[in-house]
Amino acid sequence: MNRSDHLAALESEDFDFCIVGGGATGLGAAVDAAARGHRVALVERADFAKGTSSRSTKLVHGGVRYLKQGNVSLVLDALRERGRLARNAPHLVKDLPFVIPTYHWWEGPFYGIGMKVYDALAGKLGFGPSHHLSKEETLARIPTIEPDGLTGGVIYHDGQFDDARLAIHLAMTASELGAKLANYVRCVSLIKEGGKVRGIEALDLESNRSFRIRARVVINATGVFVDELRRADEPSASEIVAVSQGVHLVLPKDFLPGDSAIMIPKTEDGRVLFAVPWHERVVIGTTDTPLAERSMEPRALPEEIDFLMTHAARYLSRDPKPEDVLSVFAGLRPLVKAGDSGNTASLSRDHTILVGDSGLITITGGKWTTYRKMAEDVIDRAEEVAGLKAVPCRTMELPVHGATTDEITGSHLRPYGSDAAAIQAMGDAIRIHPALDLAAAEVRWHARSEMARTVEDVLARRSRALLLDARASSEAAPTVAAILAEELGKDAAWRSAEEANFNKLAQGYVLGGEWPS
């Protein structure tokens, strides 16, 4: 994906749909519409997946918690999508066994029955049957689980993925299908003709140049920011999105050796908690904290960190200390408001599509797992609004860029899928930092083929270094800046500004670090 070529096309061509927002929702919609043969533009004001879509728990799941809430149709839809995503992006999704440890006699049968219902809903698209584990079997799978009072466990299967890498590969899929898309382009305002939205005023944040993108229909897929664009369209529009923050801690792999995750269905204050092995680390999360503000770099609250540290200590035999925490990251859930509710844990995780009088389409809610179905629904609606002939959705079996089931030598290259061979062929395989699985060739690939524009794009989303080890990623920043400067033709001043920006950002991911002002 060459950004300049895409920008030139965005400025000069006419489009059927202009999508604002390059997270799971917007990128999914771009793939869907382009696969149907429509002319598609997409702009993202930061980097692809910079918002919520790089900050998830990394699960492709039906959502056991929604089963508990009785939302069977949401679980059923998500389980179907889980199966489709595993088939269409096998390089990014894998089966993960989850163990629910039990500490009371009744928990085994209780969760055992619940997980059988989950298996039955997944049907043929299931990842494997659930079953009971004895205390010994539980300890064999999770040697670091708290043994005091342990009675046994229940094991079930769900999916795991790399969220930001999927976003990048969706962008590449859309581009290969003819969509024109660019990061660091902000939608500043809507263009209206006769009361109808006919495109957007865009600002290229790299060159500071404004231009227009003309389209029959504009789709607002801006996540927790959808109300900003809805109000630009209709100043009296009421807010439809409530924000709930979720925080994760990342620990070294020895806190959870092996390939199984832990799932705690109900902490003593009623929350769901996961400890998940991911890229040779352990991700612990998450929280559900209603927030009034929305920001591109949300910060974990002290009480959220305290909750995660206390509960990690409760369920793991070794208590994590602050110095064990490699990274802390927070994300904001866009939840669709259902009247007044202070409790975001019970707001809808389902998606919502709204069409304004001007024809502006807004899509929000849902989850990563259901991005494809959300895209299908919004493009069906967008065809109607645009007065286009309805074309059947083609993404049900459409492989995502990179899809392959082949063995990939050098396992950390697996998330690149079929691109791994091209990266290996570039040479330059020496790690740029001893604690990070990242080679210079990958950084060059990010710049040449994946539209990486900044050190953060490389270290936070093309690779996941910032989430895996915030301090090490800071130390790697000068090398990444030097390689990117070569690739993008930037000077020494750009390099030092990039290093400084990244270091400031990474501080916010270090437990107890200074937050950038």
**Interface positions with ligand FAD (CB under 6 A):** 20-26, 43-46, 50-53, 55-59, 186-187, 221-223, 225, 246, 286, 331-334, 364, 366-369
CA triplet 403, 405, 408: central angle to 5 degrees?
95
Tell me the chain's radius of gyration from C-alpha atoms.
Answer: 22
Name the residue nearer to ligand FAD (CB basis): 317 or 348. Answer: 348
User: Mapping DSSP to helix (H, G, I), strand (E, B) and coil, where does residue 468 land?
Assistant: helix
Helix H, strand E, coil C: the string for 118-133 is: HHHHHHHHCCCCCEEE
Q: Answer yes or no: are the C-beta atoms of 2 and 453 closer than 8 Å.
A: no
Give which of 470, 469, 509, 60 is closest to 281, Cα–Cα: 469
The strand pair at 40-43 and 180-182 is best described as: parallel
Q: Which is nearer to ligand FAD, 53 or 130 (CB)?
A: 53
Whichever of 112 and 298 has its CB closer to ligand FAD, that residue is 298
Residue 457 · residue 239 · CB < 8 Å: no
Nearer residue to ligand FAD within complex by CB, 41 or 133: 41
Report CA 380 to chain centroid distance, whole Å.
24
Q: Give the separation between CA 141 and CA 130, rounded to whole angstroms.
A: 14
Which C-beta is closer to ligand FAD: that of 59 or that of 420? Answer: 59
Pick between residue 112 and residue 334 the one whose CB is nearest to ligand FAD. Answer: 334
Both tokens assigned to 203 = 């600002």
**Tokens for 95?**
């089966």
In the bound complex, what is the minimum distance in angstroms from residue 433's beta carbon to ligand FAD? Answer: 27
Q: What is the closest distance, in whole angstroms, from the C-beta atom of residue 319 to ligand FAD in the complex?
A: 23
Nearer to ligand FAD, 21 or 152 (CB): 21
Q: How far is the CB of 150 from ligand FAD (least distance, A)?
A: 26
- For residue 51, the minimal CB distance to ligand FAD (Å) is 3
Cβ(62)–Cβ(118) below 8 Å:
yes
Both tokens assigned to 382? 């967008």
Q: In terms of C-beta density within 10 A (0-12 exposed, 13-18 middle, 19 or more buried), how is residue 150 classed?
A: middle
Cβ 404 to ligand FAD shortest distance, Å: 23
The dihedral of CA 386, 391, 397, 401: what is its sign?
negative
Is the Cβ of residue 112 or residue 365 nearer to ligand FAD in the bound state? 365
Structure tokens at 338: 């259902």
The string over 296-326, giving b where at least 16 C-beta atoms fall within 10 Å of a residue's C-beta and e elsewhere, is: eebebeeebbebbbebbeebbeeebeeebbb
Q: How far is the CB of 12 from ligand FAD (least distance, A)?
A: 20
CA end-to-end span of the chain, whole Å?
Answer: 33
Residues in the chain: 517
Angstrom CA distances, 263 to 157, 195, 210, 271, 493, stand at 11, 51, 48, 11, 47
- Alpha-carbon distance 224 to 68, whole Å? 26
Distance in angstroms (rounded) separating the CA atoms of residues 290 and 502: 28
- Closest CB 196 distance from ligand FAD, rounded Å: 20
For residues 238 and 286, give the distance between their C-alpha atoms in angstroms, rounded to a whole number. Answer: 29
In the complex with ligand FAD, the residue whose CB is nearer, 331 or 359, is 331
Instruction: Give least dist CB 298 to ligand FAD, A.
Output: 9
Written in H, E and C, the secondary structure of 144-185 is: CECCCCCCEEEEEEEEEECHHHHHHHHHHHHHHCCCEEECCE
Cis amide leading into 57 (omega within 30): no
